[in-house]
Amino acid sequence: MPVLNDPATVSEIASLHDAYERALAANDIPALNGAFWDSPHVVRFGVHEQLYGAEEIAAFRQNSAPVFTERTLVRRQITTFGADHANVMCEATQRVGGRWRTNRQTQVWVRFPDCGWRIVAAHVSAGPAAMPPQGEAALQWVDAASAAVRLTVPPDLREPVAQQLLRIESIVGPLLAFNLPDGVEPPAVFTP
């Protein structure tokens, strides 16, 4: 029976997965390809595609641009079996087309004597629409503020509006943090 979750092995896989996530965010195609086993036996199921063999995976990377932004890992479980086998299962939230979505990723890693750790099988799927971490506070804000301005926000629009508020918050951050000198007045009618 191989050793389950040997700490050194878990740590190694965590670093490799961190590097993979960085490569994803940067669309670093050589790094992404390098993580996968260079073999006709490797398989990757993406959200919209089924790819068999390293060549198909590399061709896919070359010909497609990633559509997500602001990917954040929410939960990751690494399970290692002995020193040469590991699974990574993780959940992330990311923005696709302006909407937050959950994303699920499975990776099966094997350590090869000649080239070290490689992904031998992977599967990515999209989950339902999600709220990002600050979501609950934003929803409460929508409820309270819409009542204050007497604007009914129907149930199906609560989350999309909350997501827009979060987006606005992230953009206006630099303004809100800015220390203006005392005594600057807003204009009555702006003159350039």
Q: Under the rule (CB under 8 A), what is the footprint of another protein?
A: 25-27, 65-69, 95-98, 141-142, 145-146, 149-154, 157, 160-161, 163-165, 167-168, 171-176, 178, 180-181, 184-187, 189-192
Smallest distance, another protein to C-beta of residue 113, A: 36
Closest CA to 51 of 32, 70, 68: 32
The CA distance from 149 to 48, in Å, is 43
Q: At its nearest, how many Å lie between another protein and the CB of residue 71?
A: 10
Minimum gap (Å) between residue 185 Cβ and another protein: 7
Nearest CB to another protein, comparing residues 10 and 126: 126
- Find the Cα–Cα–Cα–Cα dihedral 149, 150, 153, 154, rounded to 10°: 170
Minimal distance in Å, beta carbon 6 to another protein?
Answer: 36
When the beta carbons of 54 and 130 are compared against another protein, the nearer one is: 130
Strand segments, DSSP code E, in 97-183 are 99-112, 116-129
Residue among 106 and 146 whose Cβ is closer to another protein: 146
H-helix or E-strand containing 68?
Answer: strand 68-81
Cα–Cα dist 173/21, whole Å = 26
Query: What's phi and psi for 43, nearest 5 deg?
Result: -130, 135
Give whichever of 76 and 167 is closer to another protein, judged by the CB atom.
Answer: 167
